[in-house]
Structure 1
Amino acid sequence: MNFRKLVKESLSMLDKSDKGIIFQDIDNQIVHVADAAFYGKQVFPRNLIQILNENFSMSGFPIDDPQFRKDILELLEKYELAAKQKASKKSVELDEDFGKIL
């Protein structure tokens, strides 16, 4: 599965969840609690945390590991900082003596 698609689907499921529970209709489509109540759909509860853990673990990302989550957050923060601070190609000044062995 495409990792980008997995993340987007997970975010969508989290938006439609209610305290870590998602509801699926008979066609296994995720239904928001309010929509299920409004339209009178029969839904079945599922544990969203368990589903996310399984999906991400299959992709090689153990999101149930607290240290891994901290490392990912740190990586994203440092990436954002580096992207903001990267020097433009025009302002790069090279020292001609740098790297020469004397």
Structure 2
Amino acid sequence: MAFEVLQREKRPPALKRCSFGCLQGLHALNVTNGCGHCCVYCYARGYQQAPPKGQVELYVNLPELLAEELDNPRRRVRPCLVVFNTASDCFQPHPEVQR
């Protein structure tokens, strides 16, 4: 399935604590908002902030934002575990996303 990748700036924080189910309390890092697979059973498509079908938002400033957060002297402890893309697929078939 073809989809359009929109480049967006991510607002801080890059790492967010999960507040649901088995991931509760862990840090999550979402590389994109939306998913090109458009699975009919996907719960993430129902989120209000999800982009329309056929579009994926790629956070272009994520590496810098994450580095700032992890290097911040106010951070007491670095997260010991980070889960990726709780609301999209890590392996979306698009070169911009895979880069």
| TM-score interval for Structure 1 and Structure 2 normalised by the shorter chain | under 0.3
Q: Of Structure 1 and Structure 2, which has the larger fraction of its residues in strand?
A: 2
Q: Of Structure 1 and Structure 2, which has the larger fraction of its residues in helix?
A: 1
TM-score after normalising by structure 1: 0.25
Higher relative contact order structure (alpha carbons within 8 Å, sequence separation ≥ 6): 2
TM-score after normalising by structure 2: 0.25
Larger Rg, first or second structure (1 or 2):
1
